[in-house]
């Protein structure tokens, strides 16, 4: 009887969606959501391309460059759950527009940067804006599309995001070549203006119709805990895992996150209802996103190093040659919903994990002299299978929760991906660095005429190896560069094997725990309270 009642509530909720103005405009609203996320994705990828230029023109240290990246990540990860919960309470349309304004304002301020500290502060505020934007986009999609269209909408949303992955390095390279480096921040402003206009006139201000009192202790504990966790993971790879500040940060994160969990289990009005994790679709979706990010972010993070230092491409050439990865994601995510309807969520996601594992195996056998057409096929296949995982996993997370909790569900999906990605970069990056250094030092003895100081500097990273080799006599420099490239590939192969194992683990988890087709349909039709909407 209870399941029948839940099903009836779900039907009523979807009927209410179809009767509203937002339903008529749903595909336009989806375009606004994609545009809002596009500005976030573009900004991240463009800034990465511009880091060498910032180092030269701002006299930035390596620590400064790391903080230009990390300040954004810290505020984004630390505030994600809080902003998702506030969006559910105050209105997702309002939160989206406010986030775009904050992001655009910080981008405008960054255009006038004269010092690295100025850029770091602006990037921190851009992270605040992104934390307001990202949870609301998926929550709004969940609230304007009925369940039978939601999977397709999320697939289109994820696919369009891949355009930012492809365009970011290309646009960044073009801007840096023809304009001052600060033009990368101007790029955000017209996109943000269009997104705000669309948000004001098109996006409904959906919210939880029965909001609970704010969970201020839980909010504070989540911000401190997640911020300390990301800080420790990011800085551990730079300062070393035995550094007291890194140990203290990770230990503090463990304490605050444990306190957050304990508080959420006992308070009457939790920000994050831990009972969500008893829902198999929610837990499997979050687990799939985490495993995917854990294994793949480290590998994709190293792609830029591989393309520029090993293959010798410049920033623009690298961006163009990474386009097959974005095209693969676009096609994979865009077709995932159609495949899910035919083969089920379990089958499509498991196939995605097995496919990525197969691609990882191919990467494990690649040499630094691999031809680009083979690389392009590998990138395309990697993106295609990632799309098969990402879109259904996101749909599983969002579909397992009532629409009133869509904001916190979206935030949880993004936070799990970011934390797992940070762990992946830290762990796999450390593995890559360790294998590279060990391999380089083993082979350096056969290079005649290489000074000890140069050998020590070149053994730090492939980038250092290539730079050092360019300053040496031709024969010695060529041998040093070849050894650096071969040593990097050894580390990359180790990373590929780790990614392969993680993806096989992901396939096992999905096949074992993800509810089958019948459970999926019951989940889609249940627990859907009708929500009030304001502002259209």
389-445 tens-digit pLDDT: 887 887 777 776 666 666 666 677 777 777 777 677 667 777 777 888 888 888 887
**Rounded-to-integer distance, Cα 61 and Cα 79, Å:** 27
Indicate whether 328 pLDDT > 70. yes
Q: Is residue 5 part of a domain?
A: no
Q: Is residue 94 part of a domain?
A: yes
* Per-residue CA distances from 246 to 216, 235, 414 (Å): 27, 7, 24
Indicate whether 489 pLDDT > 60. yes
Computed from CA positions of residues 114, 120, 125, 127, in that sequence, does the dihedral angle turn out positive or negative?
A: positive
- Looking at the structure, tell me whether residues 293 and 383 fall in a common domain: yes
Predicted pLDDT of residue 109:
92
Predicted pLDDT of residue 516:
60
Buried b (16+ CB within 10 A) or exposed e, 267-290: eeebbbeeebeebebbbbbbbbbb
- Looking at the structure, tell me whether residues 166 and 136 fall in a common domain: yes
Which residue, of 208, 239, 256, is where some domain finishes?
Answer: 208
Cβ neighbours, 10 Å, residue 61: 11
- Looking at the structure, tell me whether residues 357 and 264 fall in a common domain: no
- Looking at the structure, tell me whether residues 231 and 348 fall in a common domain: no
- Looking at the structure, tell me whether residues 319 and 196 fall in a common domain: no
- Decide: helix, strand or coil at residue 468: helix
Indicate whether 385 pLDDT > 80. yes
- Looking at the structure, tell me whether residues 313 and 358 fall in a common domain: yes
What number is the average pLDDT over the span 242-247? 84
- Looking at the structure, tell me whether residues 125 and 255 fall in a common domain: no
- Looking at the structure, tell me whether residues 501 and 395 fall in a common domain: yes
Q: Is residue 12 part of a domain?
A: no
Cβ neighbours, 10 Å, residue 209: 12
| Average pLDDT over all residues of the chain | 77
Asked whether the beta carbons of 439 and 486 are under 8 A apart, the reply is yes
- Looking at the structure, tell me whether residues 288 and 183 fall in a common domain: no
Indicate whether 221 pLDDT > 60. yes
Q: Is residue 536 part of a domain?
A: no
Predicted pLDDT of residue 354:
93
Q: Is residue 6 part of a domain?
A: no
Q: Is residue 118 part of a domain?
A: yes
DSSP 8-state secondary structure symbol assigned to residue 273: -
Indicate whether 11 pLDDT > 50. no
Residue 97 pLDDT level (bands cut at 50, 70, 90) = confident
Indicate whether 4 pLDDT > 60. no
Lowest pLDDT segment from 65-79, 247-261, 446-460: 65-79
Instruction: Outline where 179-205 has alpha helix (H).
Output: 183-186, 188-202
* pLDDT tens digits, 23-68: 677 788 888 888 888 888 777 777 777 777 777 777 776 567 767 7
What number is the average pLDDT over the span 482-506? 87
**Rounded-to-integer distance, Cα 371 and Cα 376, Å:** 9
Q: Is residue 122 part of a domain?
A: yes
Lowest pLDDT segment from 57-71, 96-110, 307-321: 57-71
Which residue reads 């990860």 in tokens?
Answer: 77
Q: Render 261-299 in DSSP notation, one character per residue.
A: HHHHHH-SS-SS-GGGGGSHHHHHHHHHHHHHHHHHHHH
Question: Whose CA is closest to 503, among 342, 330, 355?
Answer: 355
Q: What angle do CA 128, 204, 335 make, to 5 degrees?
A: 80
Predicted pLDDT of residue 353:
92
* Global pTM exceeds 0.75: no
Residue 324 pLDDT level (bands cut at 50, 70, 90) = confident
Residue 531 pLDDT level (bands cut at 50, 70, 90) = very low
Lowest pLDDT segment from 449-453, 498-502, 506-510: 449-453
* pLDDT tens digits, 334-369: 788 888 888 888 888 899 999 999 998 988 888 878
Indicate whether 170 pLDDT > 70. yes
Q: Is residue 4 part of a domain?
A: no
- pLDDT: which is higher, 417 or 254: 254
Indicate whether 5 pLDDT > 60. no
What number is the average pLDDT over the span 487-493? 87
Question: Whose CA is closest to 131, among 500, 521, 415, 419?
Answer: 415
Question: Whose CA is closest to 327, among 398, 394, 273, 379?
Answer: 379
Percent of the chain with pLDDT over 90: 5
Which residue, of 188, 208, 228, is where some domain finishes?
Answer: 208
Q: Render 144-177 in DSSP notation, one character per residue.
A: HS-HHHHHHHHHHHHHHHHHHHHHHHHHHHHHHH
- Looking at the structure, tell me whether residues 148 and 225 fall in a common domain: no
- pLDDT: which is higher, 517 or 115: 115
- Looking at the structure, tell me whether residues 318 and 232 fall in a common domain: no
* Per-residue CA distances from 393 to 69, 253, 468, 528 (Å): 27, 27, 44, 19
Asked whether the beta carbons of 336 and 348 are under 8 A apart, the reply is yes
Cβ neighbours, 10 Å, residue 80: 29
**Rounded-to-integer distance, Cα 62 and Cα 77, Å:** 22
Which residue, of 232, 249, 268, is where some domain finishes?
Answer: 268
Counting the structural domains of the chain, the total is 3
- pLDDT: which is higher, 478 or 209: 478
Give the residue numbers spanning the domain of 249: 216-268
Question: Whose CA is closest to 96, among 199, 232, 221, 220?
Answer: 199
Question: Whose CA is closest to 194, among 97, 87, 84?
Answer: 97
Predicted pLDDT of residue 405:
66
Indicate whether 212 pLDDT > 90. no
Give the CATH number of the domain where residue 121 resides: 1.20.1250.20
Predicted pLDDT of residue 319:
73
- Looking at the structure, tell me whether residues 344 and 418 fall in a common domain: yes
Residue 534 pLDDT level (bands cut at 50, 70, 90) = very low
What number is the average pLDDT over the span 515-528? 50
**Rounded-to-integer distance, Cα 144 and Cα 289, Å:** 24
């Amino acid at each position: 009887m209870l399941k029948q009642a839940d099903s009836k509530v779900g039907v009523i909720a979807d009927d209410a969606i179809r009767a509203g103005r937002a339903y008529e405009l749903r595909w336009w609203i989806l375009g606004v959501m994609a545009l809002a996320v596009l500005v976030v994705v573009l900004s991240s990828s463009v800034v990465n391309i511009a880091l060498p230029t910032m180092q030269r023109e701002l006299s930035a240290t390596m620590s400064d460059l790391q903080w230009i990246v990390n300040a954004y990540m810290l505020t984004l990860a630390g505030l994600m759950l809080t902003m998702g919960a506030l969006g559910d309470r105050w209105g997702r349309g309002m939160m989206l527009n406010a986030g775009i304004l904050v992001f655009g304002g910080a981008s405008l301020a960054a255009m006038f940067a004269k010092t690295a500290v100025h850029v770091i502060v602006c990037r921190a505020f851009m992270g605040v804006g992104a934390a307001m934007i990202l949870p609301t986009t998926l929550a709004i999609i969940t609230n304007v599309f009925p369940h039978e269209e939601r999977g397709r909408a999320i697939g289109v949303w994820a696919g369009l995001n891949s355009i930012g992955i492809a365009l970011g390095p290309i646009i960044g390279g073009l801007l840096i070549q023809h304009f001052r480096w600060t033009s990368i921040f101007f790029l955000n402003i017209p996109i943000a203006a269009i997104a705000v206009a669309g948000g004001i006139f098109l996006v409904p201000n959906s919210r939880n119709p029965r909001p609970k009192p704010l969970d201020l202790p839980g909010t504070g504990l989540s911000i401190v805990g997640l911020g300390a966790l990301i800080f420790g993971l990011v800085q551990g790879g730079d300062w070393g895992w035995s550094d007291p500040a890194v140990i203290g940060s990770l230990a503090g994160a463990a304490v605050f996150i444990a306190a957050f969990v304990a508080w959420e289990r006992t308070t009457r009005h939790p920000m994050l209802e831990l009972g969500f994790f008893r829902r198999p679709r929610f837990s499997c979706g979050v687990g799939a996103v985490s495993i995917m990010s854990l294994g793949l972010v480290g590998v994709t993070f190293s792609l830029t190093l591989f393309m520029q230092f090993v293959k010798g491409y410049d920033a623009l050439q690298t961006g163009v040659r990474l386009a097959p990865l974005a095209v693969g994601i676009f096609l994979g995510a865009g077709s995932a919903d159609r495949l899910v309807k035919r083969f089920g969520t379990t089958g499509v996601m498991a196939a995605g994990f097995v496919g990525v594992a197969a691609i990882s195996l191919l990467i494990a056998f690649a040499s630094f002299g691999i031809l680009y057409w083979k690389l392009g096929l590998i990138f395309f296949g990697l993106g295609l299978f990632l799309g098969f995982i990402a879109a259904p996993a996101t749909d599983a997370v969002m579909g397992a929760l009532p629409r009133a909790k869509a904001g916190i569900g979206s935030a949880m999906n993004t936070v799990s991906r970011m934390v797992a990605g940070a762990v992946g970069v830290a762990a796999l990056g450390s593995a890559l660095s360790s294998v590279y250094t060990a391999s380089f030092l083993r082979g350096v003895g056969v290079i005649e005429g290489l000074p000890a100081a140069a050998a020590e500097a070149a053994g730090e990273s492939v980038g250092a190896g290539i730079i050092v080799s360019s300053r040496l006599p031709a024969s010695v420099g060529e041998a040093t560069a070849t050894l650096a490239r071969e040593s990097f590939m050894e580390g990359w192969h180790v990373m590929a094997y780790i990614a392969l194992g993680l993806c096989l683990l992901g396939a096992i988890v999905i096949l074992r725990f993800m509810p089958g087709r019948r459970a999926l349909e019951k989940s889609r039709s249940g627990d859907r309270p009708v929500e009030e909407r304001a502002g259209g």
